[in-house]
Structures are given as structure tokens and as C-alpha cells.
Amino acid sequence: MPSSAPPTRLRAVRPTWLSPKVLRTEVLAGLVVALALIPEAISFSIIADVDPAVGLFASFTMAVTIAIVGGRPAMISAATGAIALVIAPLNREHGLGYLIAAVILGGAVQIVLGALGVAKLMRFVPRSVMVGFVNALAILIFMAQVPEMHDVPWAVYPLIAGGLALMVLFPKVSKVVPAPLVSITILTVITVAAGIAVPTVGDKGELPSALPVPGLPDVPFTFETLKIIAPYALAMALVGLMESLMTAKLVDDITDTRSNKTRESIGQGVANIVTGFFGGMGGCAMIGQTMINVKVSGARTRLSTFLAGAFLMVLCVVFGPVVSDIPMAALVAVMVMVSVATFDWHSIAPKTLKRMPAGEITVMVVTVACVVATHNLAIGVVVGSLTAMVIFARRVAHLAEVTGVVDPDGKQAVYAVTGELFFASSNDLVYRFDYKNDPDDVVIDLSDAHIWDASSVAALDAVETKYAVYGKKVTIIGLNEPSAKFHGNLSGELTSH
């Protein structure tokens, strides 16, 4: 009787974050981010003119929810200045209930846009815009710290310097604990033990003492309400998605991994809806905190994002008095370090600038200038991308060439058109032919050209019309299949007769 083989045992695949080394990194990174989130969330609450608890609740629910439903592991989403600026007028004019209703509607819009594939538009953002985006972000992070260094006790400055020194030198001794956490802990102990009077986290506002409770926004559910909140909801959805997708792309580059940006777009919507029902002010990806998590602390999984939100509430509710004693100088030092690490110094090196085309430098400078002037990353990216498109169109416009040859017997003229024909390159096409002196038979050879738009078809129609005035016949040859189909559908249909 043949012996039966032992049953095959299926080995469960252990998640990466369960590795002791990875787990330690993720937990400590989450704690550092949570500590840095508290004063920022309070500051954004002030911008939106709401109670500090509204911003802190938003940071908690956004981080915890996006850790589960988002498409970019280790990216931090919470209450942000960009969203606060968008919705602040609504709160001032109509109250908190309308703000929360706008957050929920904005989340629904983000889900729809995500499902429609808005994330695919990221492929049209050029590298020079991305570099400008990163550099502008670093400048904004630093500028946000300047008020904390102005008109403050003298002790703040040595504390900031000491914090920076600790974050530079401590990693040379050990990388087991994130340097920002060590810096925050040591500076807090020094100020409390020595009784040094400096601004603290507690000075920013009162921390919440209980967890948020879900509920519906206190607004009338009418069409009039929808008319009021819809513009703000749409603006919030667009700004939030743009910042989140740009941040996801940045993290992709830093970690050499790909993220699911469609899932991230939908996830941002889900997180904002959850945040709205819990009374939060909404949010999106936080680039500064993400840099702390990914670049400074080395986190790579969803666990750090989840714990950042969880630790935030624990620190506020359980350890509120202790957190309130953290000197703002310690957190300023962390953010200054983040801004220095975030800036792409290679992009402004003289050697790089000497080799870079003038158009690329222009796009980068325009992006940075727009972001710094408006304090809105989304506006900078849009203007930078449009600038890049204009420069690209001008550059490509010069690549279309027309060369003409007349047969020795003088009976036929052949023009060879090479390059890409679109609105910018085809505008001058009509001036490249000798209508009056050419023979009666004219051939336009497009074997080395491609027709991209209706402007090119209209230009070719204009050439035929001008020759027809002199009683001459034009034959177009060499069209590739897409160009032939495009030309066949539109030729003769673009002008009124």
C-alpha cells in the first residue's frame, strides 16, 4: 500500500511591519510626527478661525483613515494650511456647521474625481515643476517657522541651535531612535528642569480632553445650503487632491516605489467624509510631516501613518499636560531641519544651472515664485505646468520644416514637410509656399510629418485654397494612418462657405 504524502502546510506571509526593526522605526516615526502635528494642527485651526480641537480631530481622523484606505504607504494626511485657507471664509460668513458640511461634500467630490481617473493627470506635470514644487515647499516650511523666532525670549535661539546640533550629530552615534524625538525630549527636559520661560505647545491653544464623537453637521439640508457650500467644497477637493498627488509622487521618488494614486484620490475623499462626520475641518497630505516620517525617520509602511493619528489623540487626551510643556523651539528646530533636507540643493548649484536649458530654469523659478507668493502649492503647480507647456510648444513649433523642389521640366513642384504639425507649428505653414510662381501641379509630401490637431488641417486647407486662386491643383501624399483619418474627417469642414 503506497504511503500517503504528509499534508502541505501553508506558511502565512508575515507583514513587513511586524519585523522588530521595522516595527520600532514605524512606531518611533509615528510618535515624532504626532508631536510635530499638534502645534501645526492648532495653527491651522487659528487660520480657519475654529477651535483648536477641530484641527486636532481632523488630523486624528485623516491620518487613521488614510492609513487604511489610502494608496501611498507612509504618507501623512492631516489638517493643512491650504485647506484651512480655502474654507476659512465659509466659516467666518456662515459658521462651523457649513464648514463641516463643505468638508463632507468635498470628500464626495474627491471620490468622484478619483473614480474618473483624475490621478492620471499627474503624468503632465514636468520634472522642472516637480523640482520647483519641492523647493517652494522647503521655503514655505522655513517661512512658517519665522514667526516662532520673532519677538521671543533670547533663550529660544540657543534652544533651536541646540536642537539642530542634536539632529545633525545624534545619527552619528545611533540611528535606533529618530534624532528629532531625541531632540524634542532633551530640550523639553532642559526647559522644564531649569525653569526656562519660553513659548510652549500649550501656549498655542487648549488641547482636547476627550475623543471626538460622530454626528451630522448642524445645517438645514436644503438646496440653498448646497449652493453656499458647493464652491468651497469643489475648491477644497481640487486643492487637496493636487497637494496629495504631488506629495505621493514625491514619496514615490524618495522610496523608489510606486503608489496607487487612484486609490489615494478616493481615499482622500473617504478620509474627508469621515473627518467631517467627526467634526473635523478636513485636510489632505501634509508634505512637511510626510518628510519627517519618510525622509528623517525612515518610515515606509501604513503603520507609521496610523500611529501618528493614534498617538496624536493619546498625547492630547492622556498626556496633555506633558505635551503642553514641550518648547516650541524644539519643534521649530525639527521643521527647519526638514526644510533643509527637503530643498533640492543640486537644482541651484552653478554647475547644474549652467547645463540646464533656460526654459527648464524658468519653469522652476515660476513655480517657486507662485507658491511662495500665494502660499498655495496647487496654484504654483498649475502655473508652472502651463508655463512648461507654452515653452514646450514654442520649442516644438520650430521643428516643422518645409523644403520645396521643382521638377527639371518645370511641370511639378514637390514640397516635403517634416516635423510635428499642431497649432503652434502650423500657423506659419501657409507662408512657406510660392503660390504665384509654382507650376500648376503641386505635391505636398507629409511622409515625415504628423498631424495633431484641427489647426494643422485648417492650415493645409488654406494652402490648397491659395493655390486654387491661381488655378493650381494640390495633392497631399504620405499621410500616416492617424493623420490621414484626422485630415479626411476635418478637411473642408473647418471654414464656412
Write the pLDDT tens digit of every residue in 356-378: 889 999 999 999 999 889 877 77
Query: Could you count the other beta carbons within 10 Å of the beta carbon of residue 215?
Result: 11
Sign of the torsion angle spanned by Cα atoms 229, 232, 235, 237: negative
Residues 6 or more apart whose CB falls under 8 angstroms from that of 246 comprise: 122, 125, 130, 133, 287, 377, 381
What's the average model confidence in pLDDT over 189-205?
A: 90
Res 454 pLDDT > 70:
yes
The predicted model gives 374-385 an average pLDDT of 83
Question: What is the distance between the alpha carbons of residues 275 and 269, in angstroms, rounded to a whole number?
Answer: 10
> Could you give the strand order of the β-sheet that contains 401-406, starting from the edge strand earlier in sequence?
401-406, 412-421, 441-451, 473-477
Percent over 70 (pLDDT), the chain: 95
Residue 483 has pLDDT above 80, yes or no: yes
- pLDDT for 299: 92
Q: What is the pLDDT of residues 319-361, one digit of tens each?
A: 888 888 989 999 888 888 878 887 889 899 999 889 888 999 9
Nearest residue to 114 (alpha-carbon basis) of 66, 146, 157: 66
pLDDT score recorded for residue 312: 94
Q: Compute the distance between CA of residue 438 and CA of residue 472 in angstroms, rounded to an integer.
A: 9
Q: What is the pTM of this model?
A: 0.74
C-alpha cell at 9: 502546510
Mean pLDDT of all residues in 165-183 = 86
Q: Has residue 47 got a pLDDT over 80?
A: no
With a cut of 90, say whether residue 9 has pLDDT above it.
Answer: no
Q: Which pLDDT band holds residue 497 (cuts at 50, 70, 90)?
A: very low
> pLDDT-based confidence at 307, cuts 50/70/90?
very high
> What is the pLDDT, as a whole number, of residue 125?
82
Print the SS3 string covering the chain.
CCCCCCCCCCCCCCCHHHCHHHHHHHHHHHHHHHHHHHHHHHHHHHHCCCCHHHHHHHHHHHHHHHHHHCCCCCCCEECCHHHHHHHHHHHHHHCHHHHHHHHHHHHHHHHHHHHCCHHHHHHHCCHHHHHHHHHHHHHHHHHHHHHHHCCCCCCHHHHHHHHHHHHHHHHHHCCCCCHHHHHHHHHHHHHHHHCCCCCEHHHHCCCCCCCCCCCCCCCCCCHHHHHHHHHHHHHHHHHHHHHHHHHHHHHHHHHCCCCCHHHHHHHHHHHHHHHHHCCCCCCEECHHHHHHHHHHCCCCCHHHHHHHHHHHHHHHHCCHHHHHCCEHHHHHHHHHHHHHHHCCHHHHCHHHHHHCCHHHHHHHHHHHHHHHHHCCHHHHHHHHHHHHHHHHHHHHHCCCEEEEEECCCCCEEEEEEEEEECHHHHCCHHHHCCCCCCCCEEEEEEEEEEECCHHHHHHHHHHHHHHHHCCCEEEEECCCHHHHHHHHHHCCCCCCC
Q: Taking 70 as the threshold, does the pLDDT of residue 433 lie above it?
A: yes
* pLDDT at res. 19: 81
CB 495 within 8 A of CB 458: yes
What pLDDT score was predicted for residue 311? Answer: 95
For the chain, the average pLDDT equals 88
In this prediction, residue 18 carries a pLDDT of 67
User: How far from 281 is each of 38, 75, 230, 233, 441, CA to CA, in Å?
Assistant: 15, 19, 16, 12, 71
Per-residue model confidence (pLDDT) at position 178: 80
Out of 40-44, 87-91, 443-447, the most confident range is 443-447
